[in-house]
Amino acid sequence: MLSQVQVKPLDGPDYRGELPWSCPTLVVERPEGSGVFVRLNDSYLRSIAYIGVARPGSDTQIDATGTGFLVVHDGATYLVTAAHVAVAYQDAAMDVRLNRDDNTGGIQPIDTAKWYWHPDSKVDIAVMPFRAEPWARVIYFNTKHLAGDFKVQTKDLGTGDIAYVVGMFQELHGEERNVPVVHTGHIGSMGLEVVQVGDWRDGAKKGNKIGIQGFLISAPTLPGSSGSPVFVRRTLEVEGVEEVDAKTGKRVPIRAWTHGSVWLLGVWSAAWNEKQLGKTFVLGMGVCIPGERLFETLNQPELKELRDKAKAKKDKESKLSLQAKAKPAKV
């Protein structure tokens, strides 16, 4: 037996491409009692970028060192990744690979990368003002759907909620185009555990360790996923669900849950793994830098000042354009 379910995504502006939350209301069918929708919309893959250096003579191939993703915040667009990925390209040339409309890859070169770091140097997040070339088929994830501290509380996000790490799969990253992979798991701990990782900061000696704080995510990933967005799907308690008591035959209320909206939980930093016989084996647990730290990075005074200047320039150009189009009054 099939039941109809109305799905109304959240409203939101369309920044280059149809966002899953800006589509019209859909009516879909599913087997009654089959559970809930937990698939991550394919559109989320279009926010993914590969960061590295293009291979000589190729406009599609890249030696990628990490994953990045695109966001729009307060009207400005950015490339986000882990700080330990970005540090190799600070004030240096780098390349970003994005996919085209026909799903082939393309390289967008950056002559001198200007990254911005979190005020706390132990936070593994870096952002760069970035606008994809017109040929790129991309989506900018709106930070109003970023799970900062307030959203974590109000949406009751926590241990056991379904999580998705969306980024590069090192063993099959795509020779000519990006092939982002969805690694599915769940939140293992929201306790902001301190984890020891290699110190990436400028001037740090090789082999030094640094303690970072983050959520623990139970999801299998390989190196190359660093900088990936980590999404979480909230769990909702359903009211009014009953079942028949086997002893009395009466209907009694029971506790039931379903899954709700998807939120950007944070940025993937590192995972536990071990090497044996030249192969890397994942242990299925990694660290997500919380979304609140991304908010703090994007809201630094320097970046806010750049956004304010860009808005003022746009408003001035718009005003001049309207004045130029205005018709002279009749006398």
The beta strands (E) that lie in 47-158 are given as: 48-54, 62-73, 76-81, 94-99, 105-110, 116-117, 126-129, 141-142
Q: How confident is the model at residue 276 (pLDDT cuts 50, 70, 90)?
A: low
Q: How confident is the model at residue 24 (pLDDT cuts 50, 70, 90)?
A: very low
d(CA 137, CA 262): 22
Residue-wise pLDDT for 201-236, tens only, equals 876 677 788 899 999 999 988 778 899 999 999 888
Question: Which H or E element spans position 262?
Answer: strand 256-276
Residue-wise pLDDT for 65-94, tens only, equals 999 999 999 999 999 999 999 999 999 999
- What backbone phi and psi angles, to 5 degrees, belong to 125? -140, 140
Q: How confident is the model at residue 41 (pLDDT cuts 50, 70, 90)?
A: confident
Q: How confident is the model at residue 277 (pLDDT cuts 50, 70, 90)?
A: low
Residue with the larger pLDDT of the pair 273 and 282:
273
- At residue 220, the pLDDT reads 83
- At residue 316, the pLDDT reads 82
- At residue 284, the pLDDT reads 81
Question: What is the chain's mean pLDDT, rounded?
Answer: 83
- At residue 149, the pLDDT reads 94
Residue with the larger pLDDT of the pair 288 and 8:
288
Cβ proximity of 187 and 163 under 8 Å: yes
- At residue 205, the pLDDT reads 72
d(CA 158, CA 186): 9
Read off the pLDDT of each residue in 41-61 and give the average, rounded to a whole number: 91
